[in-house]
Amino acid sequence: MSDTFGIVANVISDRVLRTGAKVWIGYPHWPCVVVRGLSKGGRTIAKFIHMKRLENFRAAWMPEHIRDLGGYYALRFDKKSEPQEAAQAWAAHWLGVRSFRSDGAMVRDGITEGEAAARAWAARSCGGVGR
């Protein structure tokens, strides 16, 4: 058994993935990522999803069958500290960003994506201060 870790999150709302489903995150195509998770039909699928539709980012040990996300490579780390840092950064970036369902109904109210990017930029340029 190898020590390979990845980043997992939970789905807030999506047309295809189950609400609350645990998904494994693949390489980001900012602001979207490839994820692998359980669909509403009960199958495991890989798809692109916007990061604001995800929450509860965290590091986890990655089983063998998850390491390939349907042709897209999963984010893999050798040490657990690396995905923990990435998960914390993503959680801080997307904290409180408003999200809508596909029918236009608001799922979570909050700040815009631009305001989140400005907040993250200020935190990076001020050495972590300015949140």
Q: Where exactly are the structural domains of the chain?
A: 5-125
Q: Out of 45-49, 87-91, 92-96, pick the least confident.
A: 92-96
Q: What's the pLDDT at 11?
A: 92
Confidence at 130, pLDDT banded by 50, 70, 90: very low
Tokens of 46: 């890989």
Q: Which residues pair with 47 in a beta bridge?
A: 35
Q: What is the mean pLDDT of residues 43-64?
A: 89
Greater model confidence, 55 or 131: 55
Q: What is the mean pLDDT of residues 62-79?
A: 73
Closest CA to 19 of 91, 85, 80, 105: 105
Q: What is the mean pLDDT of residues 108-126?
A: 77
Q: Which residues pair with 55 in a beta bridge?
A: 10
Q: Residue 69, CB half-sphere, CA atoms under 13 Å: how many?
A: 24
Q: Is the pLDDT of residue 85 over 80?
A: yes
pLDDT above 70 covers a percentage of the chain that reads: 87
Greater model confidence, 49 or 124: 49
Q: Is the pLDDT of residue 21 over 50?
A: yes
Q: Which residues pair with 77 in a beta bridge?
A: 5
The residue assigned the tokens 């999150």 is: 9
Q: Is the pLDDT of residue 56 over 70?
A: yes
